[in-house]
Amino acid sequence: MELVATLFALTVGGLLLTAAAEWMRIPAPVLICVYGLALGLVPGVPALELDPEHLLPILLPPLLWAAARKSSWRHFAANWRPILFLAVVLVFVTAAAVAALAAAISPVLPVGAAVVLGAICAPPDAAAVAAVADRLGLPRRLVTVLEGEGLFNDVTALTLYNVAVVGVVSGSVSVLWSAGLFAYSAVAAAAVGLATGWFLVKLGSLVDDSRVRTALSLTGPYIAYLLADGLRASGVLAVICAAFYLVARSDDPEDFEGRLVQGSVWDVLETALNALTFGLVGMELVDIIDAAGPGVGDLLWKALAVAGAVIAVRAVWLGLALLLGRMGIGWKDIGNHPRLAAVTAWAGMRGVVTVVTALALPETTADGAPFPGREQIQFLAVAVVLATLVAQGLTLPGLIAFLGVREDEAKETEALRSIMSEAAAAATGRLRELREAGEVDDEAAAKMERWFGRRSEQVAALVENRGDPEVERLAERLDAVRRVEGEMLSAATGRVLRLRSSPGRDPALIDRVLAALDHRAVGRRRT
């Protein structure tokens, strides 16, 4: 029960701090991690005895799935150069730099163990990056790149980590075998992910109940991850491919309720998991620092050096991207916008993957000897997480504001107009078809066309000319109508809820009326 109570405290506190972070305009993972750290220091709070080998498969798949379902394969394909530049090449460069530095400053870390540390510290955290990108109003292209990096860098880092650990445990590893493992891991994981996505689509097509389909979608990330892991392939890549497949096949225009339910469930689940995950990271930091014992003072300067190297390598790498972009090579957007390079360089917070992989290190090698430098690797990994989450996470919003890196409102407005025009053309085209088929009379069709046209013009005016006095008056009238409608819906919902306790009322009928009112309320808020 103590474990359950601690997990409950972490989750509830993390959720409250998520709301506080929104108000304070700072990344929520920073506050939640500090909260977990503080909770771990409270006397009487039991240490969390969680198996790190199970922690990653439990927490990582749904977090990756939630992030991937907001994107698509098309977004990745359109930005494959910068994503490859950051999620693959930069991971190798960071791992190599950290390994070289760690082997030089720490005699207890042989080359193999130093490479393990490099692989652990290399990948920025997907959840932390998503939490930052979603709330700071960054340009959509930059958000897409950062989210793509956050999704795919774990594939590279975890595969490199597995190879390095096997090399240390066994005492030897060949370059050819390592390259073959990378290739097999990627191909097998992609096949597993696509097969899982196909299976879930077929299974969902047999079920009409949106609640059951949503429940089935919750199993998707675990099916993909566990199948790939069982085949010694990349579970991370399998989850991403399965999610991309489902996004591509979610093309039923009539599945209003399914999209509404699944979107809400996954948004809630992602928020709760982020709260729990970063709280766990904070609590685990306490145990790792305690395990360092009296040698913690000697490790501090090494920790600062490794954390500084992680930050510096990313900054230098983005500087190289800036230079290549100006030469027309690689990520061209960076060449035209050096401020994007600065923000991208500073958006490299580490998190749960770094901590959990450090905790999951085996205690001994194949010959029974202790894993070289295990406690030191864990401490240095923790230092990187703290330094990047706190130092970069707290200052990133200020850097973005100082550089003025924001979404171009003119481009965003033009994109919205284009989408609205497409939607209006489709709606009026369908109305014309119904009219020609005799399913709608001329008078009803004319009224619907006028109503839809007025509604589209009002929304377009509000989007494009918010500062115009006449448009402001229109907005005020629409807001007043919305407010009155909201009051009416609240009153109606309250009355129906009170009818639940009235004798002789059918609960099933009451739930049907409530569902209709709830859907209307949701639709009103989204228009």
**For residue 125, what is the DSSP state?**
P
Cα–Cα distance for residue pair 58/68, rounded to 1 Å: 17
- Beta-carbon contacts of residue 344 (< 8 Å; ≥ 6 apart): 86, 142, 145, 146, 318, 334
**CA of residue 291 relative to chain centroid, distance:** 31
Say whether 364 sits in a helix, a strand or coil. strand
Cα–Cα distances in angstroms (integers) from residue 98 to residues 95, 109, 112, 310, 387, in the given order: 5, 12, 12, 7, 15
Domain boundaries, the chain: 2-407
Cα–Cα distance for residue pair 247/197, rounded to 1 Å: 9
* CA-wise closest residue to 301 among 119, 117, 105: 105
Q: What angle do CA 139, 140, 142 make, to 5 degrees?
A: 70
State the CB neighbour count (10 A cutoff) for residue 427. Answer: 15
**For residue 294, what is the DSSP state?**
G
Using the Cα atoms of residue 503, residue 508, residue 511 and residue 512 in order, give the sign of their dihedral. Answer: negative
Cα–Cα distance for residue pair 158/93, rounded to 1 Å: 15
What are φ and ψ of residue 49, in 5° steps? Answer: -95, 75
Say whether 370 sits in a helix, a strand or coil. strand
Cα–Cα distance for residue pair 521/490, rounded to 1 Å: 9
| pLDDT by position in tens, the chain (length 527) | 677 888 888 899 999 998 888 788 777 888 888 898 888 888 877 777 777 677 778 888 998 888 888 777 777 777 788 888 888 899 999 999 999 999 998 888 888 899 999 999 999 876 666 666 656 667 777 777 888 888 888 888 888 898 888 888 887 767 777 788 888 988 999 999 999 999 998 888 888 787 888 888 899 999 999 999 999 898 889 999 999 888 777 656 556 566 777 878 888 898 898 888 888 878 877 877 777 666 677 788 888 999 999 999 999 998 888 887 777 666 666 656 788 888 888 888 888 788 888 888 888 888 888 888 888 898 898 889 888 888 888 888 888 888 887 765 666 666 656 666 666 677 777 777 777 777 767 777 677 667 666 666 656 665 555 555 665 666 666 666 666 666 766 777 777 777 766 666 666 666 667 677 776 666 655 55
> What is 2-407's CATH number, 3.40.640.10, 2.120.10.30, 1.20.1530.20, 1.20.1540.10?
1.20.1530.20
Cα–Cα distances in angstroms (integers) from residue 356 to residues 353, 383, 495, in the given order: 5, 14, 50
In the block, which residue shows the tokens 């992989």? 357
Structure tokens that stand for 176 in this block: 């050819």
pTM above 0.85, yes or no: no
At 38, which amino acid appears?
A: A
Cα–Cα distance for residue pair 361/382, rounded to 1 Å: 14
Contact 275, 18 (CB under 8 A): yes
**For residue 387, what is the DSSP state?**
I
Structure tokens that stand for 66 in this block: 């939630």
- Beta-carbon contacts of residue 201 (< 8 Å; ≥ 6 apart): 245, 246, 249
Structure tokens that stand for 399 in this block: 């850097």
Using the Cα atoms of residue 88, residue 90, residue 93 and residue 97 in order, give the sign of their dihedral. Answer: negative
Structure tokens that stand for 406 in this block: 């924001």
Contact 147, 67 (CB under 8 A): yes
* CA-wise closest residue to 365 among 122, 168, 500: 168
pLDDT value for 150: 81
Using the Cα atoms of residue 361, residue 363, residue 366 and residue 367 in order, give the sign of their dihedral. Answer: positive
207 φ/ψ sector (left φ>0, alpha ψ -120 to 50, else beta)? beta
Structure tokens that stand for 204 in this block: 């969902």
Structure tokens that stand for 361 in this block: 């290190």
In the block, which residue shows the tokens 């690797």? 377
pLDDT value for 228: 94
* CA-wise closest residue to 517 among 492, 484, 483, 485: 492
- Beta-carbon contacts of residue 260 (< 8 Å; ≥ 6 apart): 210, 519, 522
Cα–Cα distance for residue pair 236/224, rounded to 1 Å: 9
Q: Can you name the residues that pair with 264 across neighbouring β-strands?
A: none
Structure tokens that stand for 394 in this block: 């707290």
State the CB neighbour count (10 A cutoff) for residue 269. Answer: 15
Cα–Cα distance for residue pair 327/244, rounded to 1 Å: 33
DSSP for 55-92?
HHHHHHHHHHHHHHTTS-HHHHHHTHHHHHIIIIIHHH
Contact 132, 349 (CB under 8 A): yes
Using the Cα atoms of residue 316, residue 321, residue 323 and residue 324 in order, give the sign of their dihedral. Answer: positive
